[in-house]
Amino acid sequence: MRAAMARLQELRGQAIIRSSMRALDLLSRVSLLVAICLGIYSRWEISQEANMLIIFVLALVVLGLAIVLHCYFHMEKVSQSLIHLWRGSLLGLLCFVGSPALDHGVKEQTTNYLLLTSIVLRTLWALLERICGCAKCRPAFLTTAERMELVGFGIVSFVVSSSPSVAVFVGALAVLMVVLRVKAVLTIPILLGFAFVGEFLFLKGLDVSTNKVALACFLSQLMCDPLLDYYFSGSSVTERWQPFLAAGKWGRLSLLPLLLVVEVTFLVLAASRLSDGGPLYLMIPAFVVCMFFWGTIHLVFLITLWGFHTKISACQSVCLAQGSGFNSLDKVMASKGVRHFCLISQFLVQLTLLSTFMMAVLAWMSVCSLSISVSLLVLLLESLFHGLFYELGNSLRGTCVGYAVVIPTNYSR
């Protein structure tokens, strides 16, 4: 009887904690909703532009459509995707659509306070969820909600600013979230560098005014879970990298052309900014030397990635033949020599990061938002592969070769 009563009190305590967390989540969502509506309305009130009113009405229609799909058609995933796309788009409007007359307005200050309240409540809810063990850690680089918010924010920022720099920066932010989720070895310096460059270089290079409170709210919505999972998640290396290691052959190989396009774009942008960085008689020889080193190292880097994909495909084939699935992939990779391959490849990727950093220094001599965002994207992608090779090289088991020295003897009767 005492045990049953103790168990009942424990269940009641857990129910109270879950109710409190749901209340925090609901309050953060309501605060964000009211802040977005009030912010859009205040911008329309100042500008008196019909476009803002049309956007506000369309936002309400999309929100109503999502509610109808969820309540009457039981299409929860579609409705949630629409809501997150809607939220990312309107936060992008709050960030990049503004006026000096808004800075001291009562409605704008109220909007900022509501956004700050949403940030605090959202962070507190996520922290309590992980402390109480209620969070569900799934092997995914980015969730559907995060992808939709990134897409919505990137599209609106591209339309408002008429420049792809913010959209590329959003792509770099998505890669940073993946770096946090997989706990790459360079996560902390990358996070600090990303924050420093974004605050003191990227935002200064933009030609549009930004609402930093709305931008902080957008970043907190996306970065809160990866940052907390970096500390609280107890997943193994293969579990964190499961979306990549368990992907199909063509799904992994399709990343190579995309990576090649990003690398070539980075090189072209670095070359285009030479005239703004200093005297050409100094910049051109330095660029030629860096480009030769960069091109050689990156050619080896792409060949290394192709070889790694080949090895992973062979390991997947063995797992399918054995019928064991993903559970025995780490053992198969250890038997196929993936550990030795990764131990060598991590030093090659370190040289790749060094060459990219040298080129980025030349490109950053003139503050250009597009070159800065592309440089961040390239560095984050390469650090992601460095983390992959480093983690697999340290966690996988390998083969052991023993040597013995046998002394010959001459035996005679």
- Among 312, 301, 262, 293, which Cα is nearest to 385's? 301
Nearest C-alpha neighbor of 94 from the set 210, 222, 205, 219: 210
User: Of 24, 66, 69, which is closest to residue 152 (Cα–Cα)?
Assistant: 66
pLDDT score for 296: 92
Confirm if 64 and 133 have CB atoms less than 8 A apart: no
* 88 neighbors 150 (Cβ within 8 angstroms): yes
* Span 65-76, pLDDT tens digits: 888 888 887 788
Q: What is the pLDDT of residue 351?
A: 92
Mean pLDDT is lowest, of 8-17, 136-145, 167-176, 356-365, for: 8-17
Q: Residue 23 pLDDT more than 80?
A: yes
Residue 157 predicted with pLDDT over 90: no
Residue 21 confidence (pLDDT) above 90: no
Q: What is the pLDDT of residue 380?
A: 93
pTM of the model: 0.88
User: Which range has highest mean pLDDT (56-65, 252-261, 376-385, 393-402)?
Assistant: 376-385
Instruction: Quote the pLDDT of residue 131.
Output: 83
- Report CA-CA distances (Å) from 7 to 12, 16, 42, 120: 9, 14, 52, 33
Alpha carbon distances (Å) from 173 to 29, 85, 104, 146, 151: 22, 16, 31, 11, 12
Q: Which tokens go with 299? A: 């050619």
For residue range 211-247, what is the model confidence (pLDDT) as tens digits?
A: 888 899 999 989 998 998 888 887 888 888 888 888 8
Rg (alpha carbons) of the chain, rounded to whole number: 26
Q: Centre a 10 Å sphere on the Cβ of residue 28 and count the other Cβ atoms it contains.
A: 22
pLDDT tens per residue across span 275-313: 666 677 777 888 888 889 999 999 999 999 999 998 888
Token representation of residue 158:
């591209």
Per-residue tokens: 114 = 């509501």
Asked if 142 and 225 count as a contact pair (C-beta separation under 8 A), the reply is no
* 112-137 mean pLDDT: 86
CB 3 within 8 A of CB 58: no
d(CA 262, CA 266): 6
Instruction: Give residue 270's pLDDT.
Output: 82
Q: Is 58 helix (H, G, I), strand (E, B) or coil?
A: helix
Which residues lie closer than 8 Å to 111 by C-beta, 6 or more apart?
35, 38, 39, 42, 94, 213
Residue 404 has pLDDT above 80, yes or no: no
pLDDT value at residue 56 = 73
Q: For 175-228, what is the HEC assignment?
A: HHHHHHHHCCCCHHHHHHHHHHHHHHHHHHHCCCCCCHHHHHHHHHHHHHHHHH
Average pLDDT, the chain: 82
In this prediction, residue 298 carries a pLDDT of 92
In the prediction, which pLDDT does 175 show?
93
- pLDDT tens-digit readout, 228-238: 888 888 788 88
**Residue 135 backbone phi and psi in degrees, to 5:** -75, 145
* Rounded Cα gap, residues 390 and 342, in angstroms: 7
pLDDT of 80 higher than 80: yes
Give 307-355 pLDDT, tens digit per residue: 999 888 888 888 888 776 667 787 888 888 888 888 888 999 999 999 9
As a whole-number percent, the residues of the chain with pLDDT over 70 amount to: 87
The greatest distance separating any two alpha carbons of the chain, rounded to the nearest whole angstrom, comes to 113
pLDDT of the residue at 377? 92
pLDDT at residue 407, rounded to an integer: 59
Place of tokens 């490849």: 345
The answer to whether 326 and 246 are in contact (CB under 8 A) is yes
**What would the mean pLDDT of 153-175 be, rounded to a whole number?**
86
Which has the minimum average pLDDT: 41-50, 83-92, 329-338, 385-394? 41-50
| Percent of the chain scoring above 90 in pLDDT | 19
For position 299, what pLDDT does the model report? 93
Average pLDDT score over residue span 88-112: 81
pLDDT for 50 equals: 67
The type of residue at 284 is I
Q: Evaluate if residue 3 carries a pLDDT over 70.
A: no
